[in-house]
Amino acid sequence: MTEVLLEQLTNEDIQWLRKTGQTLQVNANSVLIEANKQVDFFYLILSGELVARVSRNTKSALGKAFAALEGDRDLEQEIGRFSGGEVLGEIALFNINSSASTVQAIENSVVLALPRQEMMRKLEQDAGFASRFYKSIAFLLKERFQRLLKLYLSRKMGQISPLQVGQLFGELSDSDVDWMLSGGHLEEISRDTVVISAGKQVENLYVLLQGKMSVRVSEAQKNRLTVAFAALEQNQDLNATPEREIARASRGEIIGEITAFDMHLSNYTLKALEDSLVLAIPRQKLLGKLQQDTRMAARFYRMIGLLISSKHQGLIDRLGFGRSSYKVGQSLSEDVNYEDEIDLEVIDNISLGRARFDWMLKRLNVS
C-alpha cells in the first residue's frame, strides 16, 4: 500500500506536495483527527503508525442496547491501522463534514499535513494532477473498505446506506454523461440473474437505470490468491460459502467500479432482485477514454473515490451504531455535526447531478 501514491504521482506532483505541506511530529497517544469534528487537512503518513477507532453512540437506542449487553457504557472499536505511505483526512476533499472516527498515533509518527483549501485549488486547476491523485486515493480507499468489511461481517449489522444519485452524477460534466451514453449499451437483466460474481472479472461499469439489485459478500473472506486460482477452476462454485447481503443497489447507482483499476476481480456478488435495466460500459473502452481525457479522468476518479468513501463511512457508522446525537423534535445546535447533515456548498451540485441523471434517462427513452 505504501507504493500506491508513488506509482501514480509524478516527481512534480510529489515536489508540490512537499512544498505545500507542513511536516508534523505526532507524538504517541496524540489525537490527529477527532470524531465528529471538521477535518481541515489532508494527511500523508511519512513514518510511524496510527490507529482509527470508533466509539459506540450510547445516546442512540441501538447503542444503548449493545452497551448494556456487553456491560460497558463507553465502548470503543478499532477499525484500522495506518503506516507510512497511507493517507488520512481524505474526507475533507469530498465535502464530508466530519470524521466518523478518531485517529490517534500509537507511536511517534511524522505526517505531511496539506491544507484542504490548497489541495482543492490544486485539484481544480491541474487536471493531470487531479486524475492521478484521485485514482490513487480511490484505490487506497477500496483497499481500506475491504479490510473494514471483514470486521463488519463478523457482526450482524444492517445494510450500508446508498449514496444519493445526485452526489454521484454531480461530480461529472454533461460531456462525461454524453460519452457514457455513446460508449455504453443497454442491457435488460432478468430477476435472479447474477450480474457480477465474486472472484470473477468485471468487464463492465454499470449504471442501474431501473430495478433493484442485491450486493452480497461471502462471510468467509478469501484472500486474493485463493480467489484468483478458484476463478480458473471452471467447475468450482465460488459462491458455495454463505453470503450475506450488505447493501441494495437501486435506480441511479453505479456498480462495478473495480473496472477503473488495473485489477478487476470482484469481491462481491451482484444479483438482480427484480427485472432491471442497466447501461453497461465496457471496461477497455472506459479505460481508453480515461487515458485520453485527463479532465474526465479527474472527475471520474473523484466520483469513484466519493462512492467508496461513502461506503466506508457507512460501515464506520454501523460499527459505531450511528454517530448522530439528534433526536426527532430536538432543537438543532450549531456546534454539532449531525449524521444526515448536508454541506450547503454541495446542495446545488446534488441538484445538478439529479438533473443529469434525468437527462440520461430521457436520452435513453427510459421512464
- Give pLDDT, residue 16: 96
275 found inside a domain: no
230 found inside a domain: no
C-alpha cell at 239: 459462491
- Which DSSP symbol is given to 162? P
Q: Angle at the Cα of 46 (from 41 to 51), degrees rounded to 5?
A: 70
268 found inside a domain: no
Question: Cell 441501538 belongs to which residue?
Answer: 62
314 found inside a domain: no
Q: Which amino acid is at 185?
A: H
Alpha-helical runs (H) found in 126-173: 127-153, 165-169
| Half-sphere exposure at residue 281, Cβ-oriented, CA atoms within 13 angstroms | 25
H or E segment at 186?
strand 185-189
User: DSSP string covering 24-72, please?
Assistant: EEE-TT-EEE-TTSB--EEEEEEESEEEEEEE--TTSHHHHHHHHHTT-
16 found inside a domain: yes
Q: What residues make up the domain containing 83?
A: 4-153
| Half-sphere exposure at residue 215, Cβ-oriented, CA atoms within 13 angstroms | 20
Other C-beta atoms closer than 10 Å to the C-beta of 259 total 21
Domain count, the chain: 1
Backbone angles phi, psi at 86, to 5 degrees: -90, 170
110 found inside a domain: yes
Measure the CA dihedral 175/176/178/182, to 10°: 130
- Give pLDDT, residue 334: 45
- Give pLDDT, residue 217: 86
Q: Provide the CATH number for the domain around residue 92.
A: 2.60.120.10
Q: Could you give the CA distance from residue 67 to residue 61 in angstroms, rounded to a whole number?
A: 10
Question: Cell 462525461 belongs to which residue?
Answer: 176
Backbone angles phi, psi at 277, to 5 degrees: -135, 130
Q: Could you give the CA distance from residue 216 to residue 275 in angstroms, rounded to a whole number?
A: 18
- Among the listed residues 263, 278, 286, 276, the one whose alpha carbon sits nearest the alpha carbon of residue 199: 263
- 344-363 helix and 174-183 helix, angle to the nearest 10 degrees: 30
- Give pLDDT, residue 223: 52
How far is residue 32 from each of residues 104, 335, 353, measured CA to CA in Å?
6, 20, 34
- Among the listed residues 254, 166, 168, 259, the one whose alpha carbon sits nearest the alpha carbon of residue 208: 254
Q: What is the pLDDT along the chain (367 residues), one digit of tens a residue?
A: 457 777 889 999 999 999 999 999 999 999 999 988 889 999 999 999 999 998 765 454 545 554 554 444 446 788 889 999 889 999 889 877 678 889 999 999 999 999 999 999 999 999 999 999 999 999 888 888 888 887 777 765 566 766 667 778 889 999 999 999 999 999 999 999 999 998 888 999 999 999 999 999 876 655 555 455 544 544 445 445 578 888 889 999 999 988 888 766 788 899 999 999 999 999 999 999 999 999 999 999 999 998 888 888 777 777 665 444 333 333 434 444 444 444 545 567 788 888 888 999 999 998 7
Q: Could you give the CA distance from residue 176 to residue 169 in angstroms, rounded to a whole number?
A: 9
Strand, helix or coil at 198?
coil
167 found inside a domain: no
Backbone angles phi, psi at 251, to 5 degrees: -45, 125
254 found inside a domain: no
- Which DSSP symbol is given to 280? E
